[in-house]
Structure 1
C-alpha cells in the first residue's frame, strides 16, 4: 500500500462566463457531470466521515496513512466542485434545494441507520464507480472538447480517483473482510448512484430546454453506445467488482493519472498546486 498521495488544490478561476453547455458536442453529458458536481461535496464528506471512523480499527500503519491521505484528497475535490457552483448559479440553475435533500435523505440518513461496516462497503463501491469512470473518461479522452477549466477540474478529480482507488477497498477488507458485506454495499450504492445521476441529468436538461431536443438524445446515445460504449463498459466494471478475487489494482491505469497530474501541474497548465494546511477541510467531518 503506497501512502505517497499528495494533497493538491485546484486553482483555476472557474469564472461565471463558462458556458452552460461546457461540453458543446454533448449537452446530456454536460448536464450529467453538472449533477456529479452538485453531489460531490456532500458525497465526499460522507466518504471522509466514514473513513475517519474506520481509522481507529486499522492495525496497518501504511493503510492508516493512506486513509488519511485519501481524506485530504477528497476534501480538496469537494472544495473545487463547490466553487463550480458559482458557475451554475450564474446560469440560473436551481439545484441547491435538491442538493440539501440528497444530503439529508441519502448521506445523513444512511449514517443514522446503517452500521459502519455497511457504510464503508458503500464507500468502497462508489469509489470503484468513480475509478472506472475516471479510467474510461481519461483513456477515451471524452472531455477533450470541453471548456478548458471544467475539463481540468474533472480530469484532475478523475486522476486522483485512480491514484487512491485501492484505499477504501483495502480499508473495507481491514474492518469487514467478508464477501457478503462487499455485496451488501454494492446493491444500494449502484441503485442510488445511477438513479441520482439520471434524475439529476434530466433535472438540468429540463432547465436548459434541452430535454426535448433530438440532438440531446443523439449525444447521449453516442456516449452510451457506439462512440464511448459506456453502457457496456459500465456493466463490465460493475460486475468485475463482484468477483471474489477482485482488487482495484488489477486495472493498472496509473500512467493515465500521472499524465493528467503532470499536464495540469506544468507551467502552461499549472492549475494544480500543493494544498495549504487545512485548505481542503470538509465541513462536519467529526459530525
Structure 2
C-alpha cells in the first residue's frame, strides 16, 4: 500500500497579508512569490505527464504511489494559485509571465519532448524541490514569515519529501539511462532557475525596487553569507550525479512528522 497521503487542504489567505510577508524582506518575499507563480503550471505539467504514464507502470505499488503523487501535486497547484489573488490585490500583474510559462511547459516541453526526457526533467525538478523542502523544514526557513505563508510552504515541503521517490521511480520504470537522467536534471534546473529569476525581477520592477541596493544585499545574505540558501541547494543537489543515486538515500522523511504527523 502507498504511504503517500493525499490531504485535502483549503488555505484562506486574508487580505491583510503584508506585501513583504517574509520578515519584511523585499527580496525573500518576492523570491518565494515567484516560486508561487511557477508552481501551479509546473505542478500541472508534472501531474499530467505522470498521470498519462500510470497505465504503463508494471509495478502495482508504484502505480498507487503515482496516483497519490498526482493527487498531492494537484492540491499544491490549487493552494498556491489562491495566493495570486492577494498579489493582484496588492497591484501586481503577471499574466504575460504566466502565458510565457504556459507556452514553454505545454507547447514546448509537453508536446515536443518524448516521454523519457519529460520524466527525466520531472525527476530532476523533484530532486530540486526535495532539497529545498529539506532545507525548509530542517532549518525552519520560514520562521520569520507570516503564519499562513509558513504553513503553506511547510505543508508543501512535507509532501514533497513524502513523495520524493515517485517521479524518479517512474523514470526508472521507463529507462535507467544515466545520460538521460543527467540531461533531465540540467533541463530541470535551467527551467526552474530561469523562471524563478524572471518572476523575481518582474516583481521587483513593479515595486520599483530593482535597483535598490538593500534588496541585493538581502539577496547576497540569503544566498551566500547568512542562510547560504543557494550554496546549500547546489551542494546538496550533487548527490544526484551519483550513478547509483536513489531519493531514499537522503534521510529526511523524519522531518515531515512535525508538519503532517
| Shorter-chain TM band | over 0.9
Quote the residue 2:142 is aligned against: 143
Quote the residue 1:34 is aligned against: 33
**How many pairs does the alignment contain?**
261
Quote the residue 1:116 is aligned against: 115
- Asked whether 1:229 is paired with 2:221, we answer no
CA shift digits 1:62-115 (9 cap, x unpaired): 000000000000000001011111111110101122112111123431111100
**Bigger mean CA offset, 146-155 vs 224-233:** 224-233
Give how far 1:156 is off.
Answer: 0.5
CA shift digits 1:120-170 (9 cap, x unpaired): 110000011011011112111111010111111111101100110111001
Give me the whole-angstrom Cα distance separating, in 2, the residues matched to 1:222 and 1:141. Answer: 17
Give me the whole-angstrom Cα distance separating, in 2, the residues matched to 1:196 and 1:142. Answer: 22
Quote the residue 1:279 is aligned against: none
Give how far 1:213 is off.
Answer: 2.1
Quote the residue 1:48 is aligned against: 47
- Asked whether 1:209 is paired with 2:201, we answer no
Give me the whole-angstrom Cα distance separating, in 2, the residues matched to 1:17 and 1:25. Answer: 14
Quote the residue 2:72 is aligned against: 73
SS state at 2:8 partner: strand
RMSD across aligned positions (CA): 1.3
Quote the residue 2:63 is aligned against: 64
Quote the residue 2:95 is aligned against: 96
Whether the aligned pair in 1 keeps the contact of 2:23 and 2:145 (CA below 8 Å) is: yes
SS state at 1:211 partner: coil
SS state at 2:83 partner: helix
Quote the residue 1:282 is aligned against: none
Give me the whole-angstrom Cα distance separating, in 2, the residues matched to 1:158 and 1:108. Answer: 28
Quote the residue 1:12 is aligned against: 11
Whether the aligned pair in 1 keeps the contact of 2:40 and 2:78 (CA below 8 Å) is: yes
**Bigger mean CA offset, 230-239 vs 147-156:** 230-239
The ranges of structure 1 where at least 4 consecutive aligned residues each deviate by more than 3 angstroms after the TM superposition are none
CA shift digits 1:233-286 (9 cap, x unpaired): 122123211110111111111121121124xxxxxxxxxxxxxxxxxxxxxxxx
Give me the whole-angstrom Cα distance separating, in 2, the residues matched to 1:251 and 1:150. Answer: 26
Whether the aligned pair in 2 keeps the contact of 1:54 and 1:175 (CA below 8 Å) is: no
SS state at 1:212 partner: coil
Give how far 1:35 is off.
Answer: 1.0
SS state at 1:205 partner: helix
Give how far 1:3 is off.
Answer: 1.1
Give me the whole-angstrom Cα distance separating, in 2, the residues matched to 1:98 and 1:260. Answer: 32
Whether the aligned pair in 2 keeps the contact of 1:26 and 1:220 (CA below 8 Å) is: no
Quote the residue 2:195 is aligned against: 196
Give how far 1:218 is off.
Answer: 1.8
Quote the residue 2:105 is aligned against: 106
Quote the residue 2:125 is aligned against: 126
Q: 1 or 2 for the larger relative contact order (CA 8 Å, sep ≥6)? A: 1
Whether the aligned pair in 1 keeps the contact of 2:222 and 2:229 (CA below 8 Å) is: yes
Give me the whole-angstrom Cα distance separating, in 1, the residues matched to 2:23 and 2:164. Answer: 30
By percentage of residues, which structure has more helix?
A: 2
Give how far 1:25 is off.
Answer: 4.3
Q: Are the structure 2 counterparts of residues 78 and 207 from structure 1 closer, same or farther at C-alpha, using a change threshold of 3 Å? A: same
